[in-house]
Amino acid sequence: MACSLKISSWKLLIVFLLASNSQHDDLYYADAKPQVPCFFIFGDSIADNGNNNNLNTTIKINYLPYGIDFPEGATGRFTNGRTPMDFLAEFMGFDHYIPPFATANGSDILEGVNYASGGAGIRNESGQFGTLHKYGARKVAVYGQDMPRCTLFLKSICAFNTASCMAYMTNAITLFNDGLKPMVAGLSHSLPDANFIYINYTGIMTSIFNSQGFNKNINFPCCQVTGTGNIFPLNCNRHGYVCRNRSQYAFFDAVHPTEAVYELQTRRTYRAESPTDSYPFDIEHLAKL
Ligand SMILES: *[C@@H]1O[C@H](CO)[C@@H](O)[C@H](O)[C@H]1NC(C)=O
Ligand SMILES: *[C@@H]1O[C@H](CO)[C@@H](O)[C@H](O)[C@H]1NC(C)=O
Ligand SMILES: *[C@@H]1O[C@H](CO)[C@@H](O)[C@H](O)[C@H]1NC(C)=O
Ligand SMILES: *[C@@H]1O[C@H](CO)[C@@H](O)[C@H](O)[C@H]1NC(C)=O
Ligand SMILES: *[C@@H]1O[C@H](CO)[C@@H](O)[C@H](O)[C@H]1NC(C)=O
């Protein structure tokens, strides 16, 4: 059966789109049927939409002001409104957001499930891509890692050595992305009937942060973040102060972008605006193959 999957992460974002059999027009929102029959998501807090709420973890944000711009309020999304996965579901013509694994039930799984969990990483033994291909994944988008940004969180963990600390991380991430891109291309050849694409997340995010006046606000999260209970400033204070106009801010808390940034980012991952945004093509082409 045909389906669609996605992995997304603060450290690594990956989308899996399984085989699709429907053709659709170019409208972003209003398709009667989604472009892919199902959409599965793997990742961390960028994509999490409620999986951490009942997990034994300190990485839990199901309280206001998170979700302040989301119709259902604080759901476990690590931002003020929709996540990139919510936008992607809209762009691919789904009439609902992909439910979190924690609360998905019954036939939900036929249209996809979101397994993302805030704080998640990638383990050596995952063997992810081969296993997912075995279960039917045929359309997979893999997001590279974003470069370190001069956020409140990174400034804190880098303490007095911001420049060398950033350089160290930038080198490590460049090494990672430089290996990931050819690996993704190789999977399209080694796994039968499968298409994998690589999303240039760094390129897209850099371009967004450098435009729209966002850059000046990178150090200033929209919500109040004092680091209470954390070693470093990270998540919004529970019921703390929140900025009035969220769309002027790049970051909602000390780590996670605002819905405004996520929307711009997802538009470019869905429909590339530059030939370097995704390889060999964008998510829209992948979905419609
Ligand atoms: C939650 O995790 C902590 C740290 O790993 C552990 O000490 C504690 O027993 C766990 N609590 C439950 C209810 O599992
Ligand atoms: C399954 O989810 C739907 C809404 O998504 C809800 O109405 C229904 O009660 C749930 N069923 C069970 C058994 O939890
Ligand atoms: C993961 O694999 C790499 C490469 O084989 C190895 O260097 C690293 O130590 C492994 N990490 C863990 C946590 O096993
Ligand atoms: C990602 O995009 C940036 C900016 O457009 C570009 O400079 C860079 O070469 C791209 N990276 C890759 C791996 O293509
Ligand atoms: C919020 O900021 C955006 C972007 O600068 C601007 O277009 C919009 O008019 C502002 N909204 C309000 C209510 O001030």
Residue 197: both structure tokens together: 């694409």
Pocket of ligand 4 (CB under 6 A): 181, 200, 202-203, 274, 276
* Cβ proximity of 51 and 15 under 8 Å: no
For residue 264, the one-letter residue type is L
pLDDT band, residue 238 (cuts 50/70/90): very high
pLDDT digits (tens, 9 = 90+) for 51-95: 999 999 989 999 999 999 999 999 999 999 999 999 999 999 999
Q: Which ligand is nearest to the CA of 60?
A: 1
- The ranges assigned to domains in the chain are 5-148+178-212+257-288
* Ligand 4 pocket: which of 176, 177, 202 to mutate (most atoms within 8 A of CB): 202
Q: Is the CB of 107 under 6 A from ligand 2?
A: no
* Cβ proximity of 129 and 78 under 8 Å: no
Ligand 2 atom with the smallest distance to the CA of 108 is: 5
Q: How many A from CA of 202 to the centre of ligand 5?
A: 26
Alpha carbon 17 to chain centroid, angstroms: 14
7: three-class secondary structure by DSSP: strand
For residue 248, the one-letter residue type is Q
Residue 156: both structure tokens together: 């804190």
Question: Is the model's pLDDT at 228 over the cut of 90?
Answer: no
Q: Please report the pLDDT score of residue 234 as a whole number.
A: 85
pTM of this structure: 0.88
- Locate tokens 């409208």: which residue? 27
Question: Is the model's pLDDT at 35 over the cut of 70?
Answer: yes
For the beta carbon of residue 195, count every other beta carbon within 10 angstroms. Answer: 18
Phi and psi (nearest 5°) for 176?
A: -65, -50
Q: Is the CB of 106 under 6 A from ligand 2?
A: yes
Query: By C-alpha distance, which of 32, 254, 37 is closest to 156?
Result: 254
Residue 69: both structure tokens together: 């711009």
For the beta carbon of residue 98, count every other beta carbon within 10 angstroms. Answer: 27
Report the helix count and the strand count for the chain, using DSSP H and E: 7, 6
Percent of the chain with pLDDT over 90: 63
* Ligand 2 pocket: which of 105, 107, 108, 110 to mutate (most atoms within 8 A of CB): 105
Q: Please report the pLDDT score of residue 219 as a whole number.
A: 76
Establish whether the linkage from the previous residue to 280 is cis, with ω within 30° of 0.
yes
Which helix (H) or strand (E) segment is 278 a member of?
strand 278-279
**Pairing verdict, β 195-199 and 39-43:** unpaired
- Locate tokens 């460049």: which residue? 174
Q: How many A from CA of 224 to the centre of ligand 3?
A: 37
* Ligand 5 pocket: which of 215, 247, 259, 261 to mutate (most atoms within 8 A of CB): 247
- Secondary structure letter of residue 84 according to DSSP: H
The span from the CA of 4 to the CA of 2, in Å, is 7
Q: Please report the pLDDT score of residue 4 as a whole number.
A: 34
* Cβ proximity of 41 and 160 under 8 Å: no
For the beta carbon of residue 146, count every other beta carbon within 10 angstroms. Answer: 23
Q: Please report the pLDDT score of residue 42 as a whole number.
A: 92
